[in-house]
Amino acid sequence: MKRKSFIKRALPVATLPFLINGLSFKAFGRGSAFEQMLQAATQTDKVLVLIQLNGGNDGLNTVIPLDQYSALSAARANILINQNLVLALNGTAATGLHPSLTGIQNLYNDQKVTIVQGVSYPNPSFSHFRATDIWLTGADSNQTLNTGWVGRFLDQEYPGYPTGYPNATGTDPLALQIGNVVSTALQGPTVNLGIAITSSSNYYQLTTGNYDPAPNTPAGHELNFIRETSIQTQQYSTVIKNAALAQANLSTLYPANGSNSLADQLKIVAQLIGGGLQTKVYMCNLGGFDTHNSQVASTGGTETGDHADLLKKISDAVTAFEDDITLMGQQDRVIGMTFSEFGRRIKSNASLGTDHGSSLPVILFGSKVKGGLVGTNPVIPASATSSDNLPMQHDFRSIYSSILKNWFCIPDAEVSAAMLQNFQTLDLFNTACATGVNEVNGAENEMLRNYPNPANSSTIIEFKTNGGNVQMKLYDEVGREIETIAEGTYAPGVYQTELNTQQLEKGIYFYTLREGEKKFTKRLLIM
């Protein structure tokens, strides 16, 4: 097969990006006029690391309500952790941790871990697929969404992505998934806003340029050709590689490569953060939490077994990661969060396991989390049945909203837009948003808006000015100027102008308002 023919046939295949240096992404063109517009709405260098625990983690054996121990003994005697082995937490005698979580215990006692109790949502699903979809998209239980909560957030921050990216002010990936498939959480309205590094081995192949040898066959020769050309053309691979080369891992606490997959993933994340990559969101995952049977060992004590091994992996990985970014001086920029699609039932089953349940604890970690417990221990019925579930105390979307508002510091209107409705915010962080950030974003929301959006034949653009020279222009998605919407000297006040969109092709447009040295940009979708 000829090289050109091979490429034509291979490029559309969805799995091909995973053959290209372990990076699943596309590079998109740049438009010089557009680059000045394409800056994050919120200027912050803060980072969120999400850790998905696939399968449904048993919260009652993770964060143990010691004040309910008698009822727990009646409900799950065959899997319950010996009370004398439960790890103590500063400030409470009522709650402790699984014995495998010694690293999390130390972080908690240093006020670097916050545990949110009873996290779920109304009318929870017990299907792995559906429940995972709900957690990743932020949907109601009776609602199906095609976008993820992180994707909607990033879409607001970086309007028009992927067109015009990377650019002079946005050189780095918006989100990175360490895994084979980019998470639904990162899905935006039109494209997924994340890229994937499929494995630690592919990541290190990227940074060193050394790859497993391709077979000495025609197909192998073409694979080598694709690898070589991808290095030259994929712009994001260059910035990822540069970040990796700029910072070595400093912690000696990481388990041996291959023995803890979560630690291997977080090791990459730490290196990229320390190397200066400005990616806002990283997603990692650890599977195996669907513990219907053999959750604990049949011999040797309930503190051993599959679930104990998984919790130790979490504890060791997070501990090493926190040590690493602290040694790099990046600890105040980064928070992390664990989540799972659901918890497990109160009552254990006869197979030394637990079945699908409702609420569970969520663990947040980092030097800027407030530390401690949010919520109270669940009340366990004296005679729990196999159908009993833990009640919800906090909607998981309240945690997401709190992160967007109080960590990434985006204004309330944008939080509501990303979450699609309003949720309670929780007091999770010991840092405040810079006043200027919220003022700028609040000002932008007050300065400029249009309705309807999406538009069909026309849309009304409303803008506010403090007085002076005002200029408003419309651009297409690659930054070409379409027309001047308004221009002149205005007295202070709020004004409206109608934009006729009948002659414009369907697609994404941007309109900018300039007032003196200030500039505000909003996106317009024409259907």
Determine the 3-state secondary structure of 257 from DSSP: coil
314, 255 Cβ separation under 8 angstroms: no
Q: Which residue in the block uniquely carries the two structure tokens 């006029």?
A: 33
pLDDT of residue 60 exceeding 80, the answer is yes
In this structure, of 396-400, 460-464, 477-481, the range with the lowest mean pLDDT score is 477-481
58, 228 Cβ separation under 8 angstroms: no
Would you call the peptide bond into 122 cis, given omega within 30 degrees of 0 as the criterion?
Answer: no
Residue 422's alpha-carbon distances to 188, 385, 405, in angstroms, are: 19, 35, 12
Give the separation between CA 369 and CA 169, rounded to whole angstroms: 29
Instruction: Write out the E strands in 141-272.
Output: 175-178, 194-197
The token duo for 169 is 């002010």
Residue 42: its pLDDT value, please?
62
For residue range 304-349, list pLDDT tens digits in order.
Answer: 999 999 999 999 999 999 999 999 999 999 999 999 999 999 999 9
pLDDT mean across residues, the chain? 84
For residue range 197-243, list pLDDT tens digits in order.
Answer: 877 776 776 666 665 666 777 766 665 655 544 443 355 778 888 89
For residue range 162-178, list pLDDT tens digits in order.
Answer: 776 777 667 788 999 98
Q: What percent of the chain has pLDDT over 70?
A: 82
pLDDT of residue 105 exceeding 90, the answer is yes
Query: Running DSSP on this structure, what letter comes out for residue 170?
Result: B
Residue 443: its pLDDT value, please?
45
pLDDT of residue 426 exceeding 70, the answer is yes
**CA nearest to 511, candidates 492, 493, 497:** 497
Q: Are strands 468-476 and 481-490 parallel, antiparallel or unpaired?
A: antiparallel
257, 200 Cβ separation under 8 angstroms: yes
Is residue 463 within a helix (H) or strand (E), and if so which, with residue range?
A: strand 458-465
In this structure, of 7-21, 122-136, 395-409, the range with the lowest mean pLDDT score is 7-21
Q: pLDDT-based confidence at 24, cuts 50/70/90? A: very low
Residue 14: its pLDDT value, please?
27
Residue 447: its pLDDT value, please?
73
Q: What percent of the chain has pLDDT over 90?
A: 57
Contacts of 434 (CB under 8 A, 6+ apart): 409
User: CATH number of 3-433: 3.30.70, 3.30.1490, 2.40.128, 3.40.720?
Assistant: 3.40.720
Determine the 3-state secondary structure of 390 from DSSP: coil
375, 312 Cβ separation under 8 angstroms: no
Q: pLDDT-based confidence at 478, cuts 50/70/90? A: low
* Averaged pLDDT, 296-304: 95
In this structure, of 40-49, 56-65, 101-110, 353-362, the range with the lowest mean pLDDT score is 40-49
3-state DSSP of 35-77: HCCCCCCCCCCCEEEEEEECCCCCHHHCEEEHHHHHHHHHHHC
**CA nearest to 154, candidates 68, 280, 38:** 280
pLDDT of residue 388 exceeding 50, the answer is yes
Would you call the peptide bond into 452 cis, given omega within 30 degrees of 0 as the criterion?
Answer: yes
In this predicted model, which residue has the larger pLDDT, 314 or 10? 314
The token duo for 297 is 């060992």
The token duo for 203 is 């990541």
pLDDT of residue 400 exceeding 70, the answer is yes
CA Rg value for the chain: 25
178, 265 Cβ separation under 8 angstroms: yes
Spell out the domain ranges in the chain: 3-433, 445-526
The residue type found at 108 is Y
pLDDT of residue 136 exceeding 50, the answer is yes
Note the helical H segments in 158-210: 200-208
Q: pLDDT-based confidence at 363, cuts 50/70/90? A: very high
CATH assignment, 445-526: 2.60.40.1930
pLDDT of residue 492 exceeding 80, the answer is yes
* Averaged pLDDT, 241-262: 94
Residue 104: its pLDDT value, please?
98
For residue range 283-293, list pLDDT tens digits in order.
Answer: 999 999 999 99
Note the helical H segments in 210-256: 218-233, 235-246
pLDDT of residue 1 exceeding 50, the answer is no
378, 390 Cβ separation under 8 angstroms: yes
Q: pLDDT-based confidence at 417, cuts 50/70/90? A: confident
Contacts of 11 (CB under 8 A, 6+ apart): none
* Averaged pLDDT, 17-33: 31
